[in-house]
Amino acid sequence: MILRKDCDFSDTVLSFISQILMEEDMEDKTYMLQESLDLQAAERSLYDAIGKKYPPSPEPNPSVYFDQSSESPDDYCFSMNQGLSSDHLVDPPWVNNLPDHSSCNVKTFPDYNCSQSSVSSSSSLSNGILDSPLSPLQIVDLYNGSQSIWQFKKGVEEANKFLTRSNELLVNFEVNGMFSAEEQKGESSELGCKVEKNEQGQYSPNGSKGRKNLYREGVVDLEEERMTKQAAVFSDSPLRTEMFDRVLLCGPNKGEQSLAAYRERLKQETSKKMQENVQSKGTKGSGKGRGKKQKGKKEVVDLRTLLIHCAQAVAADDHKSANELLKQIRKHSSPCGDGTQRLAHCFANGLEARLAGTGSQIYKAFVSKRTSAADYLKAYHLYIASSPFSKTSNFISNKTIKVKGEKAMRIHIIDFGILYGFQWPSFIQSMANREGGPPKIRITGIEFPQPGFRPAAGVEETGRRLMDYAQSFKVPFEYNAIAKKWDSIKLDDLKIDKDEFLVVNCLYRAKNLHDETVLVESSRTIVLNLIRQISPDYFIHGIVNGAYSAPFFVTRFREAMFHFTALFDVLETNVPREHPERILIEREIFGKEAMNVIACEGWERVERPETYKQWQLRILRAGLQQIPFEREIVTRAMDRVRSRYHKDFVIAEDSHWLLQGWKGRIVYALSCWKPV
């Protein structure tokens, strides 16, 4: 950042504004003088008509109106101010900062006559107003002239608002790319500012290395505005760090060993907290009489029943009952409590937003707030350590592509809903070690457009990260980013070649496509027809097994509550309550989805999951046939879940679907298809 103290930007602009306004004011003064002379002539004729002698008076002195002895036009304003009351003229705050002109320059102010024949400015002006034999009407004219001076000052004050809020000019040359390579190393000769880098690698003015900027406090607001604008241009997190490698890559030294240690630490912390809670409850109830008294006063609340009753009141538009039930729910729920309390807090937010009619605005705020890849990675690390859902799906999908395309030298993966692309670094790593050399990998990353001026920023950042991994493993790689509504994508956008092994991958994102309740030809049908037109070698499809896409609100609310109860219970059983990444998952992911399900309708409701049996009928109608996964891959996945994760996780098969769930409830389902 460069800060120039001796900058004349504001002085030059103020001088120009003063010139323009003073020229206009001169015209007003000339007109006012002519009016004064006309008024005297009218008075003289009136005196002649009534037969009286007109009192002698000197001709109006132009110096009263135009103080030509002032050193500059700016001094003229000050001399006028001395002769008038302070109630009418108030000096603006920029008066003391006006430029000092030693003499009147004809080239700069061509309309001013700079002769020295007039009387002195300040004394003659004040005496001219107070002692002049002019009539009261003439004095009123003169006062009206002073009003135009006040208007002049006011105009310059308004113009000053459009300038920088400091006399110094702040220029961010590093961001705007105005430095050449030589200027970044040393000095900027054109601007006359010495620029050096401090210890943190930042530019500092006047060669100061690491010293505090003396002018920084005066321009904090302006710099903050610039920084917020830069956030729309530059990435907010590094593409790849050691944390990315430890979480996303496989191998005993990085992925599996680190994940196993993290999972064990979570188990120990969770069991310790549960024991502390049990001991604290036992201590509170150890007293005899006092314990009985407390037990009698303890209030037992079924939050799920309260939520359903509140949803029924909201559906009936009964604001009074809904608000009373919401108060009870708020009293017993908490974003930091147990799983049921957190679920109730999350769903109460949705009910309150629906009751107030602000659901769509809140959901748009959720979508606009893009979580950085680094923060999402921490949440993803916690999620795969505490539950096998995502880890198992990625394992089966990657292994299927590797086994089916073991002889292909060109592999093209079209990933609908790639997001941050966390699935693919381990796949690139495994393909690098393939016998016969790695194939050329092409990935077409498809995402919904991101709100703002750069709708493809997120999916493009994912491509740069995957390119970095491919270069580190020396795997030929090509990436194509598409940020469109999925039902508007055409076959030509995918750039398909004939001599390549083609796989379409879509894991748990098809729930965001609209169904027949919004469009006669739903977006799901359009996308499935596109996949049939692509004619891939394999289509790997993962879905969220939910029944909360019904158009009836109470039915949808009840099914959504059952589904999210399982998800909150997974975290409650396997993750400590105060873990920051758990809070991020529950607020940014579960909370956003629940808000959309509860508080949004029509086009704005994009969370519309269906059961795996409903999806099976859809895909069959699109002209695809289901094929089973390799038996060895499924067996290895089941063994991993049963040996490494909590005993209440469910993994099973049904009609070639691989089902995953928690305590008997199926949450996710995975399948494989190919064209008929």
Name the more confident of 211 and 285: 285
In whole angstroms, what is the distance from residue 142 CA to residue 134 CA?
10
CA–CA distance, 155 with 149 (Å, rounded to integer): 10
Residue 352 pLDDT level (bands cut at 50, 70, 90): very high
Span 52-86, pLDDT tens digits: 666 665 554 544 444 444 444 444 333 334 443 33
How far apart CA 277 and CA 275 sit, in angstroms, is: 5
Q: What is the mean pLDDT of residues 595-611?
A: 95
Q: Name the residue among 622, 567, 623, 618 with its Cα closest to residue 592.
A: 567
Report the pLDDT value the prediction gives residue 242, as an integer from 0 to 100.
86
- For 278-282, 418-422, 453-457, 579-583, which range has the lowest pLDDT when averaged over its residues? 278-282
pLDDT at 451: 83
- Residue 228 has a pLDDT of 40
Q: Which helix (H) or strand (E) holds 440?
A: strand 440-447
Distance CA 311, CA 364 (A): 22
CB distance 497 to 508 below 8 Å = no
Q: Which long-range contacts (CB under 8 A, 24 or more apart) does 98-106 make?
A: 98/11, 98/14, 98/18, 98/74, 99/11, 99/14, 99/15, 99/74, 100/72, 101/71, 101/72, 101/74, 102/71, 103/71, 103/72, 104/71, 104/72, 104/73
Give the count of alpha carbons within 13 A of 179, CB side only. Answer: 21
Would you state the pLDDT for residue 275? Answer: 78
Would you state the pLDDT for residue 483? 96
* 3-state secondary structure (DSSP) of residue 127: helix
Residue with tokens 């009136």: 46
CA distance 654 to 657: 5
| Amino acid 438: pLDDT | 94
pLDDT band at 416 (very low <50, low <70, confident <90, very high): very high
pLDDT at 40: 73
Question: Which of 142-156, 182-196, 434-448 has the least mean pLDDT?
Answer: 182-196
Backbone angles phi, psi at 140, to 5 degrees: -65, -40
193 phi and psi angles, rounded to 5 deg: -120, 125
Helix ranges (DSSP H) in 162-204: 173-176, 181-185
**CA dist list (Å): 676 to 535, 620, 621:** 9, 9, 11
8 Å CB contact between 532 and 624: yes
Three-class SS of residue 204? strand
- CA 328, CA 301: separation in Å to the nearest integer? 9
Percentage of residues of the chain with pLDDT beyond 90 = 50
pLDDT at position 183 is 41
Residue 81 Rama label (left phi>0; alpha psi -120 to 50; beta):
alpha
User: C-alpha distances in angstroms, 159 versus 92, 153, 627?
Assistant: 12, 10, 73
Give the pLDDT of residue 652.
96
Asked if residues 618 and 525 have their Cβ atoms less than 8 Å apart, the reply is yes
Q: Pick the residue with more confidence: 217 or 636?
A: 636
Which one-letter amino acid corresponds to residue 233?
V
Q: Which of 101, 109, 93, 27 shows the shortest CA–CA distance to 70?
A: 101
Residue 200 pLDDT grade (very low, low, confident, very high; cuts 50, 70, 90): very low
For the chain, the average pLDDT equals 76
Mean pLDDT of 181-195: 38
Question: How far is the C-alpha of 502 from the C-alpha of 22, rounded, in Å?
Answer: 75
Question: Nearest Cα to 173, choosing from 291, 2, 421, 375?
Answer: 2
CA–CA distance from 442 to each of 89, 424, 475, 580 (Å)? 74, 11, 11, 36
Say which range, 56-70, 322-336, 366-380, 588-602, has the weakest mean pLDDT: 56-70
pLDDT of residue 48: 74
Kindly state the percentage of the chain with pLDDT values over 70: 63
Q: What is the CA radius of gyration of the chain?
A: 38
Residue 633 makes CB contacts below 8 A (sequence gap 6+) with: 395, 396, 399, 400, 403
Residue with tokens 């008038």: 84
Looking at residue 20, its pLDDT comes to 66
Report the C-alpha gap between 347 and 557 in whole angstroms: 9
- pLDDT value for 69: 41
Give me the residue label for tokens 């059961």: 611
137-185 pLDDT tens trace: 444 444 445 555 556 566 656 555 544 444 444 444 333 333 434 444 3
Flag the least confident range among 139-153, 187-201, 229-243, 562-576: 187-201
In DSSP terms, 651 is beta-bridged to 660
Per-residue confidence band for 256, with pLDDT thresholds at 50, 70 and 90: confident
Q: Which two tokens stand for residue 132?
A: 């002049």
Choice between 118 and 358, residue whose per-residue pLDDT is larger: 358
- Examine the pLDDT at 125 and tell me if it is beyond 90: no
- Hey, which bits of 454-605 come out as E strands? 477-483, 501-507, 538-544
Give dist(CA 142, CA 404) in Å, integer: 96
Retrieve residue 599's tokens: 């508080």
CA 641/CA 145 separation, integer angstroms: 90
Integer angstrom CA distances of residue 344 from 328, 339, 530: 11, 9, 40
Instruction: Say which residues have a Cβ less than 8 Å from residue 163's Cβ, sequence separation at least 6.
Output: 9, 10, 13
pLDDT at 58: 53
**CB-CB neighbours of 56 under 10 Å:** 6
In this structure, which amino acid lies at residue 267?
A: K
The highest-confidence range among 2-6, 506-510, 550-554, by mean pLDDT, is: 506-510
Residue range 619-633: mean pLDDT, rounded: 96
pLDDT over threshold 50, residue 426: yes
Residue keyed to tokens 């086009």: 603
pLDDT of residue 224: 42
- The reported pLDDT for the residue numbered 258 is 82
Contact assessment for residue 525 and residue 622, using Cβ atoms and an 8 Å cutoff: yes
What pLDDT score does 653 carry? 96
CA separation for the pair 616, 622 (Å, rounded): 10
Please work out, in degrees rounded to the nearest 5, the angle formed at the alpha carbon of residue 176 by the alpha carbons of 171 and 180: 95
Residue 238 has pLDDT above 50, yes or no: yes
Q: Could you count the other beta carbons within 10 Å of the beta carbon of residue 608?
A: 24
Task: Report how far residue 551's alpha carbon sits from residue 487's, in angstroms, rounded to the nearest whole number.
Answer: 22
630-665 confidence digits (pLDDT tens):
999 999 999 999 999 999 999 999 999 999 999 999
Cβ–Cβ < 8 Å for 451, 483: no
Which amino acid makes up residue 93? P
Whole-prediction pTM:
0.65
d(CA 477, CA 441): 5
- How far is residue 559's CA from residue 547's CA, in Å, rounded to a whole number? 6
Contact 550, 559 (CB under 8 A): yes
Rounded CA separation 511/391 (Å): 20
Instruction: State how far the Cα of 580 lies from the Cα of 594, in Å rounded to an integer.
Output: 20
Among 117-121, 281-285, 460-464, 603-607, which stretch is predicted with the lowest mean pLDDT? 117-121
Mean pLDDT of 523-541: 96
Q: How confident is the model at residue 251 (pLDDT cuts 50, 70, 90)?
A: low
pLDDT above 70 for 572: yes
Residue 463: which H helix or E strand, with range?
helix 457-472
